[in-house]
Structure 1
């Protein structure tokens, strides 16, 4: 062990200071039943759940990838994580934050090993003794459990809604993407290089909109090609926008240590991409998006995660005033079960005035027919009005296992303000944040972030999402096609709610 490594951890709990030898604590996490008598005496002060939480906390990998971890430490998100950890760990009589020491120690550890656990980081701190506010650490664990419990309760309440049952087939859905898109390059004034686009022409003439789809943060056009190809096969032309700087290539560069991970700072450029594409289509710079009438019928903006947020903002929604203050309250503790709040709270920093309702995030309202947002979010951006200011139908989709944009906070809370009678909220049981994403290459960066985040059989979820999306689009001709319902398809269950059912569900939930 290096001469500068910490030897003692002082657990601070309810006014008590419990000095623990770090080597003994490390041994206890491996074999809790064989702890020494002295350590056992201290640990008996914790209830059994708190002891289990402590073991998980100490053993959990803080960072799993060396190069990605080094870039994360230099990002705004990493800064928030270190600030939170520094508030729980202090050194010396002045209770100084350990954030600077955590940063330097993490960097040194990542130079020697590929992943770092909490206990390894504690032992690497260059101080003789470090104090852990155990009440704060256990509070974080409690918040995690409480949020998971709340999501389970929300799902139980949703099952109680009196929705008509409906079974459906996958509409000829195939897991293979048929055909190839037309790959285009569009010169745009805000980028040096042309903007890459993928066009999926409609395979049959029909009246209706064309779609503009945007991948999520770190996503690629290939990840949404299953949806684009299937919708084009059913008569809706689809244009997928690739956003350099926040795409799959940018995420891969951060994993290799070549660039910081992309974040919400890329949103203004995404909105500029969106506006440039719509202007190019209006001015006839793009090839015909299918039969001539299709382009004249209007556009539906769609996207996954950050792409869904860009679609909502491109449709005309701007953040309500006071975002900076709301973020101060939301980030009192790290939002472990709602990572989208970290992205939302980057926005005041981008505008430079502490309020994201002004500056480069303002987007002129775009004439359009509707919005489709898979795993969208915006609870801090629109906490009071939600979708109230949009006069077009919105299809907002979430998954019950989503801990990045949890459905109760990020979809239900935003959707409850909807005023358009044809807007729909869809909650898919067992689906996660990444269920709408097609991953054919298991070497992609997404899977380096953890396959456990993918959820139940994505292909089955995607088949159901295709049905729901198709019916939503057909609703521009037959508005009652996607009615409120409890839907079953190939073992996957989903709940389709209108604004009244969504508000009824919200009223059944216990207060936070």
Structure 2
């Protein structure tokens, strides 16, 4: 029986529980179940569709571009299209370069992309790049990883086709943050160039310049630097320490023809991801001035460890390696 409202006796209102279905024959119930299943499958399928358009956010403007419009423009940039109004704001040379990049097929099975996907560090880098993209589900890092994996399976895809593999109906790109990060990256590269130029100007010993020991060679800034016809003698040792499972590699460079012999040793510790060979030039320069040098290579955070992490063979060095390094120094 339909329920009646007690608030107004003069008015009858029928209320039915939202979970109550009307009585129907078995065939109608089967048809209703089929319809519900179809709707559920359609909802799941709609969430797995690929990206259909971009929303580019720049300053206070938002430009919505469908992937099909972007594909058509990249194939024929000279044609009159709606996007041409926006791309006219770009320099002609940059506009043509952008069109070539968008339509060029990229072999994703070759190069650095598979290495990124197979390594922990590479996946973190892709995730950070995806932070400039927002999908229907949130930050675009996981979606970008999924798109790259699909692209590697296909083998070859253009940037537009790769964007279509992202499991999201809409991609929102924050051009402001992307440009800001690009400027920081460019500034870092310029700083690296300046530092490399300063290093080349230092009066460091140039190895294998001449065949006669003691031969001199002018450096970049005009200061005479002593060159090495043959490398200084080096003694490699392995020191077993109680806090490590594998021995510590040590190189000793002792001066044999320095003008003044020093009483103290110089202890050189390699940085994260470096090796003893990368600091040999510094040890030789100190030895030429009479300073005996000892170069340490810390297992677990040296060049071999970083290479293994990049290849996906192991995880990256963790914070506990810092304490191991400090213990190495105190033990030595």
Offset of 1:78 from its aligned partner? 5.2
Match of 1:124 among 165, 169, 176: 165
Query: CA 1:252/1:111 → structure 2, altered by over 3 Å: closer, same or farther?
Result: farther
Secondary structure of the 2:117 match is helix
Match of 2:82 among 38, 43, 46: 38
CA RMSD of aligned residues (A): 4.5
Secondary structure of the 1:38 match is coil
Query: CA 1:228/1:79 → structure 2, altered by over 3 Å: closer, same or farther?
Result: same
Secondary structure of the 2:291 match is coil
Residue matched to 1:245: 300
Aligned residues: 257
Match of 2:265 among 210, 217, 235: 210
- Aligned counterparts, 1:108-257, within 5 A: 108-109=150-151, 122-144=163-185, 167-174=222-229, 177-179=231-233, 181-204=234-257, 206-257=261-312
Query: CA 1:191/1:100 → structure 2, altered by over 3 Å: closer, same or farther?
Result: same
Residue matched to 1:381: none
Instruction: Verify: 1:273 aligned to 2:318, yes or no.
Output: no
Hey, what's the Cα distance between the residues in 1 that align with 2:96 and 2:318?
34
Kindly indicate whether the alpha-carbon contact (under 8 Å) linking 1:53 and 1:141 is maintained by their aligned counterparts in 2: no
Offset of 1:125 from its aligned partner? 0.8
Kindly indicate whether the alpha-carbon contact (under 8 Å) linking 2:52 and 2:66 is maintained by their aligned counterparts in 1: yes
Offset of 1:103 from its aligned partner? 3.3
- Aligned counterparts, 1:430-441, within 5 A: none
Offset of 1:80 from its aligned partner? 7.0
Hey, what's the Cα distance between the residues in 2 that align with 1:202 and 1:214?
19
Residue matched to 1:101: 143
Offset of 1:250 from its aligned partner? 1.4
Deviations 1:374-421 (A, max 9, x none): xxxxxxxxxxxxxxxxxxxxxxxxxxxxxxxxxxxxxxxxxxxxxxxx
Structure 2 segments unaligned to the other structure (5+ residues): 1-47, 196-220
Deviations 1:203-241 (A, max 9, x none): 146125311112232221122223323433442211111
Kindly indicate whether the alpha-carbon contact (under 8 Å) linking 2:135 and 2:143 is maintained by their aligned counterparts in 1: no
- Aligned counterparts, 1:327-338, within 5 A: none
Secondary structure of the 1:18 match is strand
Match of 1:82 among 127, 132, 144: 127
The answer to which of 212-221 and 260-269 deviates more is 260-269
Offset of 1:254 from its aligned partner? 2.5
Deviations 1:422-465 (A, max 9, x none): xxxxxxxxxxxxxxxxxxxxxxxxxxxxxxxxxxxxxxxxxxxx
Hey, what's the Cα distance between the residues in 1 that align with 2:51 and 2:271?
41
Hey, what's the Cα distance between the residues in 2 that align with 1:138 and 1:35?
28
Secondary structure of the 1:131 match is strand
> Which structure: larger Rg?
2
Hey, what's the Cα distance between the residues in 2 that align with 1:28 and 1:39?
7
Deviations 1:150-175 (A, max 9, x none): 89999xxxxxxxxxxx731221245x
Secondary structure of the 1:20 match is strand
Kindly indicate whether the alpha-carbon contact (under 8 Å) linking 2:126 and 2:144 is maintained by their aligned counterparts in 1: no
Hey, what's the Cα distance between the residues in 1 that align with 2:83 and 2:186?
26
Residue matched to 1:70: 117
Kindly indicate whether the alpha-carbon contact (under 8 Å) linking 1:67 and 1:255 is maintained by their aligned counterparts in 2: no
Hey, what's the Cα distance between the residues in 2 that align with 1:36 and 1:258?
51
Kindly indicate whether the alpha-carbon contact (under 8 Å) linking 1:70 and 1:110 is maintained by their aligned counterparts in 2: no
Structure 1 segments unaligned to the other structure (5+ residues): 155-165, 278-512
Offset of 1:133 from its aligned partner? 1.9
Query: CA 1:143/1:213 → structure 2, altered by over 3 Å: closer, same or farther?
Result: closer
Hey, what's the Cα distance between the residues in 2 that align with 1:153 and 1:49?
29
Kindly indicate whether the alpha-carbon contact (under 8 Å) linking 1:53 and 1:138 is maintained by their aligned counterparts in 2: no
Hey, what's the Cα distance between the residues in 2 that align with 1:276 and 1:33?
67
Deviations 1:285-334 (A, max 9, x none): xxxxxxxxxxxxxxxxxxxxxxxxxxxxxxxxxxxxxxxxxxxxxxxxxx
- Aligned counterparts, 1:363-378, within 5 A: none
Hey, what's the Cα distance between the residues in 2 that align with 1:255 and 1:12?
33
